[in-house]
Structure 1
Amino acid sequence: MGADVVQLILAGIFLLFLFYLVGSLLLKPLRWVFKIIINSFFGLLLLWAFNFFGAHFNFFIPLNWLTVIIAGFLGLPGLLLLIFLRLVLGS
C-alpha cells in the first residue's frame, strides 16, 4: 500500500510539472501577440497624432497595417523612418 501512495504522489508531481510546461509553452506566443497588439495600438495613435498636425502642412502618412506595425515596433524612430520614406519616395 505504501508503494502505491508514493507512485500516486510522483504521478501527481509529474502531472503538475507537465501542466506547467504546456502552460508556459502556450502562454509565450500569447504574450507576443498581446505585445504586438499593444504596440500596434500605440503606433496607430502616434501616426494619428502626426497626421493630425501634418494636415496643416498638407503632409500625411497613410494609415495601413504596415505603417502602424512599423510605428508600433520602432516607436518614434519608426515614425521618423516613415517620414523619411515619404519624403524620399514622394507620392
Structure 2
Amino acid sequence: MESFVVISLLLTLIILVMVFGIPLKFFGFIGQGIVKLTIGALLLFALNFIGGHAGIHVPINLITAAVSGFLGIPGVLALAVIHHWILP
C-alpha cells in the first residue's frame, strides 16, 4: 500500500509540473550554484595538491568550496592565508 501512495504522489507531481510548468530561472540559478561549487572544490583540490609540499592543506567541504567557487582565485588564496596564519 505504501508503494502505491508514493507512486501516485510522484505521478501527480509530474502531471502538475507538465500542466503548470516550473520557472526555468529557478533551475538556472541552482545549476549555476552547483557549477560554482564544483569549480571551487576543484580549485581547492589543486591548492591541496600543489600546496602539499609547503604544508598547506585546506579541507574541502561545502563552506570552503562555496567561498572558493563564488570568489574564485582570491577566495582560494584567502582560505590558504587564513589556514596558514590564523589557524596554525
Q: Fold match, TM over 0.5? A: yes
CA-atom RMSD in angstroms: 1.6
1:87 matched to which residue of 2? 84
Structure 2: runs of 5 or more not aligned? 1-19
- Residues 27-38 of structure 1 correspond to what in structure 2 (within 5 A)? 27-38=24-35
- For 1:36 and 1:46, the matched residues in 2 are separated by 15
**Count of residue pairs brought into register by the alignment:** 69
2:63 matched to which residue of 1? 66
1:52 matched to which residue of 2? 49
Letter matched to residue 27 of structure 1: L
Following superposition, which runs of at least 4 residues in structure 1 exceed 2 angstroms of deviation? none
TM-score where L is the length of structure 1: 0.68
1:13 matched to which residue of 2? none
TM-score where L is the length of structure 2: 0.70
Structure 1: runs of 5 or more not aligned? 1-21
